Amino acid sequence: MDKIRFMTLGRHIYEQERKYPEATGELSDLLHDLSLAAKVISLEVNKAGLVDILGFTGDHNVHGENVKKLDVFAHEMMIKAMDHGGHLCVMASEEDEDIIHIPEAFNIGKYVLLFDPLDGSSNIDANVSIGTIFSIYRRVSPDNGPGTMEDCLQPGKNQVAAGYIIYGSSTIFVYTAGNGVHGFTLDPSFGEFILSHKNIKTPKKGNIYSINEGNYLYWHPGLKKYIKWLQEEDKESERPYSSRYIGSMVSDIHRNMLYGGIFMYPADSRSPHGKLRLMYECNPMAFIIEQAGGRASDGITRMLEIQPKTLHQKTPIFIGCEEDVLMVEKFMREYDVLKVE
């Protein structure tokens, strides 16, 4: 009988880092702290229906959206779990307008953490999968003082690690440190993340598309044509595609990465920059999908090449299997070329 290796997240991170003799173990500690925050948030999400935690706080986040109590809880939990570890110099969260300073004496760490504490929060009340997304950079400011805005505004290609936790039918922690994508499922009985998805690779081409079709009227004409093309019948290219849209980008992209597909949140005539945030959502998911063999862009430029200008900037996103993303880019490009001629 084959011996099954029992691999915890902690052990996996240490084994990965040991491959690099120059590694100090700091990144491992950071990921470990993140997994602790994930367990606490997971517990709170699971009991959300039982305690009086649902409903609006009455506050609005920096995007003018209603903030639910679990968003606030997750945001605060991330800060609590991360700001005294000594490995960070600064943080930024989707739920905070400014950068988050690390208390003095702990703020000379060499890493920078950006996160979306709860993604898909409009799904909380309906027991639909939601998640936490994180992104880690090396600091670029001098390492004898606190981190700065400049540390946070780095292009996605500078990420040293990124990941997400989905609170769904089970809780799963997926991460990359630039050496493949690995997924760990939380065993609730003894509270450990166990390796369940080793070296995830997404297919070269999928047969699922995910987009909010309610916005059809406002889309780029090339995108309209692409979606209609996906709905046509052609056995060879496995069309028509299936449509799947949860409304939590982290869960939509996770499913598509495993099964094969494309997720899109485009710009449209009402939202010229799209809806999703470059630093908290698009860059970490783009790093992960590239590590899984997929592709991510804003329709023209590789996501990870975009130079951020502001902390909360939005971007259109096309992310998933390489051939599918190339195809939507081609539809939009050809339409624009035709228009010019």
Contacts with ligand AHG by CB under 6 A lie at 94, 116, 119-121, 212, 247-249, 265, 275
Which stretch, 62-70, 86-94, 193-201, 291-299, contacts Mn ion (CB under 5 A)? 86-94
Do you know the residue count of the chain?
341
Whether 293 and 202 have beta carbons less than 8 Å apart is answered as yes
Backbone φ/ψ region at 76: left (φ over 0), alpha (ψ -120 to 50), beta? alpha
Residue number with CB closer to ligand AHG (120 or 222): 120
Which stretch, 89-97, 198-206, 282-290, 308-316, contacts Mn ion (CB under 5 A)? 89-97
Across 158-169, b (16+ Cβ under 10 Å) vs e yields ebbbbbbbbbbe
Residue number with CB closer to Mn ion (94 or 268): 94
C-alpha to C-alpha distance for 184 and 105, rounded to whole angstroms: 33
**List of residues 6+ apart from 38 with CB closer than 8 A:** 132, 165, 171, 173, 186, 193
Residue number with CB closer to ligand AHG (89 or 130): 130
For the bound state, the minimum distance from the C-beta of residue 119 to ligand AHG, rounded and expressed in Å, comes to: 4
Which residue has the CB atom at the shortest distance from Mn ion?
119
For the bound state, the minimum distance from the C-beta of residue 315 to ligand AHG, rounded and expressed in Å, comes to: 13
Q: Does 116 bind Mn ion (CB under 5 A)?
A: yes
With CB cut-offs between 5 and 8 Å by kind, which of ligand AHG, Mn ion, none does residue 207 bind?
none
User: Which positions from 117 through 146 interact with Mn ion, judged by CB under 5 A?
Assistant: 118-119
Residue number with CB closer to ligand AHG (207 or 248): 248
Beta strands in 99-223 (DSSP E): 100-101, 111-119, 130-138, 159-167, 171-176, 181-187, 192-197, 208-210
Residues that bind Mn ion (CB under 5 A): 94, 116, 118-119
